[in-house]
Chains A and B, each alone.
Chain A
Amino acid sequence: DGGITQSPKYLFRKEGQNVTLSCEQNLNHDAMYWYRQDPGQGLRLIYYSQIVNDFQKGDIPEGYSVSREKKESFPLTVTSAQKNPTAFYLCASREGQGVADTQYFGPGTRLTVL
Chain B
Amino acid sequence: AQSVTQPDIHITVSEGASLELRCNYSYGATPYLFWYVQSPGQGLQLLLKYFSGDTLVQGIKGFEAEFKRSQSSFNLRKPSVHWSDAAEYFCAVAPGSGGGADGLTFGKGTHLIIQP
Contact = CB atoms under 8 A, between A and B. Distances in A.
Given A42-B108, A100-B51, A107 B103 contact: no
Interface in B37-93: 41-46, 49, 51, 90, 92
Nearest to A9: B41
Contacts of A82: none
Contacts of B41: 108, 110
Q: Bin chain A's interface residue count.
A: 20 to 34
A22 B75 CA distance: 34
Contact of B32 (A58, A100, A104, A105): A100
Nearest to B36: A105
Contact of B104 (A40, A45, A108): A45
Contact of A48 (B4, B49, B103): B103
Contacts of A43: 44, 90, 92, 104, 106
Given A42-B108, A108-B42, A99 B101 contact: no
Contacts of A102: 34, 46, 49
Interface string B3-15: 0100001000000
B33 to A, nearest CB: 9
B101 A59 contact: yes
A40 B101 contact: no
A110 B43 CA distance: 11
A41 interface: yes
A42 B106 contact: yes
A2 to B, nearest CB: 14
Contacts of B107: 42
Contact of B102 (A31, A90, A107): A31
Given A45-B101, A57-B101, A99-B95, A105 B45 contact: yes
5 contacts: A41-B108, A50-B102, A57-B101, A99-B32, A99-B94
